[in-house]
Structure formats: structure tokens, C-alpha cells
């Protein structure tokens, strides 16, 4: 069988797990084996209901009194125990920080290789796969060996799709043997973010600024535009390095991945590290004085010229249009 | 507190990646090299923690002889000691790299040099494996957290924060520990000129780790397919603004 680790936070599903299950189901179909899932903690039990639609025939539910919140090593041990009990062909997880953490612990505990951020997987021995490097700017074709193949699925590489016919799902409970040391690292507290600001990751419109904005003050115009459009302000890495904006505003490989309806990139040249952070945008607009900038080449629409003239003109034109 | 920071030499890619004819490497004929951005922040964090609490800083990398450039860059920022796990330049996968780092740490311990904290970047900029730090932690039997963007050390215990949907998760655990950090935890300093001069002459401890082959075998690299789309230039200068407004209306971003 193939097992998918369902990522959740205190019972709230991470939707990227459904993309992972979609790839897992195709892989299971090609290998002619069933697709199972592993859910961690009683708090995850309700999530089992939705898994049959994605082709999961058995959801293994790990139960332990201390699994009410996230603890990376305990989660990993739940997966390792299940691997020992049911000897799957492969274990898959989503390509998120949390799932990467759990799967890396699984890999370390079992001394197996782990292939992260895969976009395509062809079964066999070894597995032949394609995975992302450089945040997706480059792809690697690789061969994955190991008694159990461990891999994560790159976010948004494939769309989540339900199976053509839903599968009757059974829930199998199990009680992993977890020690105190499995809980030495666990979430011991949380700070909720202020809700008065639209988050960059969720914004429908993002107005981004790069070196071309010229100064911290220069971002005022971009903030005005973002406010008018009900969006958030983002920036390139050079802007955070120069101290013009906080790192939380950074779009890119080492910042936030955005997926807005529109991304308006002002004075952003378009380094590959930035482009992987904004490739999820449905529409890309570039405002740049350099017609040869990579961002202009990648954009769906571009205006060439000085952003400090164009952005205020755009704000005025938007007000007129209302 | 004695801190070891692990970094990786990677090409400073900018506008475009080109591959070598055998498609196994990035063509770096005209590239400069750097360390992964998260790791630069790990180095900065080590310097700040030692400035606050006292102790020592060591930087380690696994790579070819020229990777000593990156070790010297880190020493120019203020790191005191450097260890190069010298390879022939072939890529080592995450399991092998972790094993070599653990062996180096064991050898340091045998020589009387121990560490309280190991800092890694969350993932290497190039291979993006997300696992070397955790593998090292597992082998040492130490706790490990990844993706950390705030770190506070009090005596023998650490409080670390990472960004999660809608806020921050807080972790508390004892030292010794392994922590992988993310860019944003701090703003790395620039090397000083005296720092550069000092780093130029500083000794680097060179160790040749044993290789036992990669478990994850790279076959070849390829560039993602070019969408081949051509964008539309709406115009030049502020006069083009109304045309963009039309586009935004069509997309439903502006509703009149």
C-alpha cells in the first residue's frame, strides 16, 4: 500500500494534503496497491470522513493521550510504528514546513532517503521522480531507493482531485508506544497574529516593490495602491536586506509564497528567487522602467516607466473609475 | 555557549539558470558563490547569541576546496573557527552530509571541543532537502526544531518561535539542541574590512570525510518548461494607467 500522512493543526486539515493524496492515488493505481492514510491524534478523527472521496480505503488513526497538539518527534514515531506494522511501499506527505519536519524525523529514525518537493513520481524500484530545486526554478530527475520510499509532494504541483468513484473508508485505530523524549519538542504556546491586516499569503491583490522603489518612504505610494485595491504590500529580498520593509513582507523562495488574483510588481527586476514566490499569482502586472527586466518578460501586462509617476496616476485612475 | 553553524556553498543565481551540457550542474562559469540565505542568518544568530551569553562560534561546510571562500566570508562576519569537510566537488545527498557532520562533531568532541547549539538554515537554497539538521540531531540524540524565526536562550533552555498559519508556535526545550532558522530571524551584518583581512589569514581545519554514496541519486537537472507566453505592454508612463484600470476591472479587482 501507499500511505499518505494527513497534515492538520489541532484537527484543522492542511489542504495541501489533498494534493498529496491525489498524487498518492495515481501512484497507488499505477502500482496496483491500495491507498491508505495516517491521521495523528483523536483530534484528527473527523478528518477521516473526507478521505474516501480521495480514494483512501483505510485511515490509520494514531491515538495517545498526549497527541492533542503538534510534537514533531511523536508524529514521526507514529508514522515509523505504522511502517513497521503494515510495511507500506511508500509514505507520502505534503511539501510543507511541518510535514517536511515530520518526514525528516521519519527518515532519520528509519535511516531511509527522503525525496522532498516531488512534482512527478513513477513507481518501480527505484522510484523515478522529478523534484524541485531552487524553490522550483530548477527541476531534478532522481532515483529514490529504500525499503519504503519516503517523499513529499511540492505544493501546487498538481491540483487536488477526488477519485472518479469514492472508496468505502475504514478507520483503524492504533496506539503507538511513545516515550517522554518523543514529546521533548512540542508546541508549548501560541501567539495569534493581529487580524487587522490582510496577510500576504491570503491577499487577493498584492502590490510588490523592489529596489526600484528607491527608499522606505517610496513604499507609501504602494501602500496607497494596495489599500485602494483591498490588498497587501509585498517586496523583494533586496528591499528587506536594505531595511526598507520587514522580512514578513518578503515574497520569494526564502519569504512568503503568494497566490493572489493579481500581483502588481513595481520596480521588481524579477530574480528567480522572487519569481518562485509569485508564480502562484493568476495575473502578473509589471511596472518597471527597464523593458528588458525579467519581470516584464514574465508579466501578463506591463507598463514601462517611472513607478513614482505611474503608481500615483494609477491610484487617481482607480478613484475616477469608482 | 559554544555554537556550530553549518553552511553550504551555492551559486548566487539571479536572473536565469543555465545548465552545463551534461545537465548535471548549473553552469557557474560566470557565477559568484554565496551561502544559502537562511544560513547567513544562522551565522548572524550565532554571533548575536555569543555576544549576549559568551562562548565560541565555529562554522562548518561540506564541499570542495573552494568552499573555504565561504568559510572565510563567515569568519569575516565574526565567526572564530572554521571546519571544511572537503569533498571532490561531487554532490553529497542529505544522509551522507549529515553522517559526515556527525563524524566531525564526534571528532571535535574527542579533541575536547564540544558544542551546546548547532544552527542550520531551514533548507539549502539549491537542493532544498529540509532534513540535514534533523538527521544530525537524531544521530546525536538532541532535540531539534526547524523553521525558527525568533530564538531566546536562558541558561540551559531555549525558547524558539516559528511562524504558523495565523501567528506563531512556541517551542521550549533544553540544550544541547539543533535549530534550523529561517531568513527574517535577523538582518545579517556585512563583513568589515578588518574582519576580511583577519579572515584571509585565519586557519581552516580540513577534514576529508568518507563517502559511501548517495541514496537519492540525481539523474539529471532540467529547467521548468517555459510557458512561452508573451505579455502585453500596456504603454509607457503614467498615461498608460487607465489601461491598467481596464484590466483590473476585467479581472474583477476593481468594481465600480
Domains of chain A, with CATH numbers? Answer: 2-183 (3.40.50.620), 205-321 (3.40.50.1220)
Residue B200, domain CATH: 3.40.50.620
Q: What distances in angstroms separate CA A250 from CA A210, A272, B36, B61, one per listed residue? A: 10, 14, 16, 27
The answer to whether A262 and A286 are in contact (CB under 8 A) is: no
**Domain coverage including residue B28:** 2-207
- Buried b / exposed e over B31-50, threshold 16 CB at 10 Å, is eeebbbbbbbbbbbbbbebb
Q: Which residues of B are less than 8 Å from A245 in CB distance?
A: none
A319 Cβ under 8 Å from any chain B Cβ: no
- Who among A101, A104, A126 is closest to B135 (CB)? A104
Query: What is the C-alpha to C-alpha distance for residues A295 and A270, in angstroms, rounded to an integer?
Result: 4
| Residue B243: inside a domain | no
Query: What is the C-alpha to C-alpha distance for residues A71 and A12, in angstroms, rounded to an integer?
Result: 15
The answer to whether A310 and A288 are in contact (CB under 8 A) is: no
As given in the structure block, the three cell numbers for residue A312 are 500615483
Cell 574527542 identifies what position?
Answer: B110
The secondary structure of chain B as a DSSP string is -EEEEEE-EEE---S---B-TTSSSB--TT--EEE-HHHHHHHHHHHHHHHHH--EEEEEEEE-GGGHHHHHHHHHHT--EEEEEE--S----HHHHHHHHHHHHHHHHHTT---SEEEEESS-TTT--S-HHHHHHHHHT--EEEEEEEEEEETTEEEEEEEETTEEEEEEEESSEEEEE-TTS--PPPPPHHHHHHHHH---EEE-------SEEEEEEEPPPP-----EEEEESGGGHHHHHHHHHHTTSS--
The answer to whether A250 and A273 are in contact (CB under 8 A) is: no
Asked if B167 lies within 8 A of A248 by C-beta distance, the reply is no
| Residue B255: inside a domain | no
**ipTM of model:** 0.95
Q: Which residues of B are less than 8 Å from A192 in CB distance?
A: 166-167
The answer to whether B182 and B151 are in contact (CB under 8 A) is: no
Banded model confidence at residue A196, pLDDT cuts 50, 70, 90: low
The answer to whether B178 and B148 are in contact (CB under 8 A) is: no
Partner residues linked to A149 by β-bridges: A90
pLDDT at A81 over 70: yes
pLDDT at A31 over 90: yes
| Residue B215: inside a domain | no
Report the chain B residue with the minimal C-alpha distance to residue A146.
Answer: B215
pTM listed for this prediction = 0.94
DSSP 8-class letter at A210: -
| Residue B139: inside a domain | yes
- Looking at the structure of chain B, the number of domains it has is 1
Burial class (CB in 10 A: 0-12, 13-18, 19+), A299: buried
A125 Cβ under 8 Å from any chain B Cβ: no
DSSP 8-class letter at A256: B
| Residue B62: inside a domain | yes
As given in the structure block, the three cell numbers for residue A217 are 518612504
Q: Provide the chain A residues 11-40 that lie in CB contact (below 8 A) with chain B.
A: none
The answer to whether B119 and B5 are in contact (CB under 8 A) is: yes
As given in the structure block, the three cell numbers for residue A71 are 510534537
Q: What is the pLDDT along chain B (256 residues), one digit of tens a residue?
A: 999 999 999 999 876 789 999 999 999 988 899 999 999 999 999 999 999 999 999 999 999 999 999 999 999 999 999 999 999 999 999 999 999 999 999 999 999 999 999 999 999 999 999 999 999 999 999 999 999 999 999 999 999 999 987 789 999 999 999 999 999 999 999 999 999 999 999 999 999 999 989 999 999 999 998 766 678 999 999 999 999 999 999 999 987 6
The answer to whether A316 and B251 are in contact (CB under 8 A) is: no
pLDDT for position A195: 65
| Residue B10: inside a domain | yes
Amino acid at each position: 500500500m501507499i500511505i499518505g500522512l494527513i497534515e492538520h493543526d489541532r484537527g484543522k486539515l492542511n489542504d495541501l494534503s489533498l494534493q498529496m493524496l491525489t498524487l498518492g492515488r495515481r501512484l497507488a493505481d499505477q502500482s496496483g496497491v491500495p491507498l491508505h492514510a495516517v491521521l495523528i491524534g483523536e483530534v484528527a478523527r473527523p478528518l477521516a470522513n473526507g478521505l474516501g472521496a480521495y480514494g483512501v480505503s483505510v485511515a490509520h488513526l494514531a491515538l495517545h493521550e498526549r497527541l492533542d497538539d503538534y510534537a514533531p518527534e511523536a508524529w514521526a514515531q507514529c508514522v515509523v510504528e505504522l511502517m513497521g506494522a503494515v510495511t507500506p511501499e511508500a509514505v507520502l506527505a505534503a511539501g510543507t514546513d511541518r510535514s517536511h519536519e515530520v518526514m525528516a524525523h521519519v527518515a532519520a529514525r528509519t535511516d531511509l532517503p527522503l525525496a522532498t518537493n516531488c512534482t512527478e513520481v513513477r513507481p518501480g524500484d527505484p522510484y523515478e521522480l522529478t523534484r524541485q530545486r531552487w524553490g522550483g526554478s530548477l527541476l531534478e530527475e532522481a532515483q529514490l531507493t529504500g525499503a519504503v520510499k519516503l517523499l513529499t509532494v511540492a505544493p501546487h504541483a498538481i491540483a487536488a482531485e477526488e477519485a472518479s468513484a469514492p472508496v468505502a473508508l475504514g478507520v483503524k485505530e492504533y496506539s503507538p508506544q511513545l516515550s517522554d523524549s518523543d514529546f521533548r519538542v512540542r508546541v508549548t504556546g501560541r501567539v495569534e497574529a493581529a487580524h487587522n491586516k490582510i496577510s500576504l499569503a491570503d491577499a487577493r491583490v498584492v502590490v510588490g516593490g523592489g529596489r526600484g522603489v528607491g527608499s522606505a518612504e517610496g513604499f507609501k505610494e504602494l501602500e496607497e495602491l494596495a489599500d485602494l485595491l483591498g490588498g497587501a504590500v509585498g517586496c523583494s529580498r533586496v528591499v528587506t536586506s536594505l531595511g526598507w520593509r520587514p522580512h514578513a513582507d518578503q515574497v520569494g523562495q526564502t519569504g512568503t509564497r503568494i497566490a493572489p488574483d493579481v500581483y502588481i510588481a513595481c520596480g521588481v527586476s524579477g530574480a528567480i528567487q522572487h519569481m518562485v514566490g509569485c508564480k502562484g499569482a493568476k495575473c502578473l502586472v509589471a511596472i518597471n522602467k527597464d523593458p528588458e527586466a525579467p519581470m516584464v518578460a514574465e508579466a501578463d501586462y506591463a507598463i514601462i516607466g517611472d513607478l513614482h509617476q505611474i503608481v500615483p496616476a494609477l491610484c487617481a485612475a482607480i478613484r475616477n473609475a469608482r | 555557549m559554544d555554537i556550530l553553524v553549518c553552511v553550504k556553498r551555492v551559486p548566487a543565481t539571479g536572473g536565469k539558470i543555465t545548465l552545463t551540457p551534461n545537465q548535471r550542474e548549473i553552469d557557474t562559469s560566470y557565477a559568484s558563490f554565496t551561502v544559502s540565505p537562511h544560513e547567513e542568518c544562522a551565522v548572524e544568530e550565532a554571533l548575536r547569541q555569543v555576544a549576549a551569553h559568551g562562548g565560541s562560534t565555529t562554522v562548518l561546510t561540506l564541499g570542495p576546496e573552494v568552499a573555504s571562500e565561504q568559510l572565510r566570508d563567515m569568519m569575516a562576519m565574526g565567526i572564530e573557527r572554521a571546519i571544511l569537510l572537503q569533498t571532490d566537488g561531487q554532490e553529497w545527498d542529505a544522509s551522507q552530509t549529515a553522517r559526515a557532520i556527525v563524524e566531525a562533531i564526534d571528532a571535535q568532541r574527542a579533541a575536547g571541543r564540544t558544542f551546546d547549539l548547532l544552527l542550520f538554515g531551514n533548507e539549502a537554497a539549491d537542493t532544498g532537502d529540509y532534513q540535514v539538521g534533523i538527521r544530525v540531531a537524531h544521530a546525536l540524540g538532541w532535540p531539534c526544531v526547524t523553521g525558527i524565526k525568533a530564538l531566546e536562550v536562558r541558561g540551559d533552555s531555549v525558547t524558539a518561535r516559528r511562524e504558523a498559519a495565523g501567528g506563531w508556535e512556541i517551542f521550549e526545550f533544553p540544550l544541547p539542541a539543533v535549530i534550523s532558522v529561517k531568513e527574517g530571524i535577523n538582518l545579517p551584518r556585512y563583513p568589515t574590512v578588518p574582519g576580511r583581512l583577519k579572515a584571509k589569514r585565519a586557519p581552516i581545519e580540513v577534514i576529508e570525510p568518507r563517502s559511501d554514496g548517495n541514496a537519492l541519486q540525481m539523474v539529471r537537472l532540467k529547467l521548468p518548461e517555459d510557458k512561452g507566453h508573451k505579455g502585453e505592454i500596456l504603454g509607457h508612463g503614467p498615461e498608460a494607467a487607465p489601461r491598467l484600470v481596464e484590466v483590473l476591472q476585467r479581472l474583477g479587482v476593481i468594481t465600480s
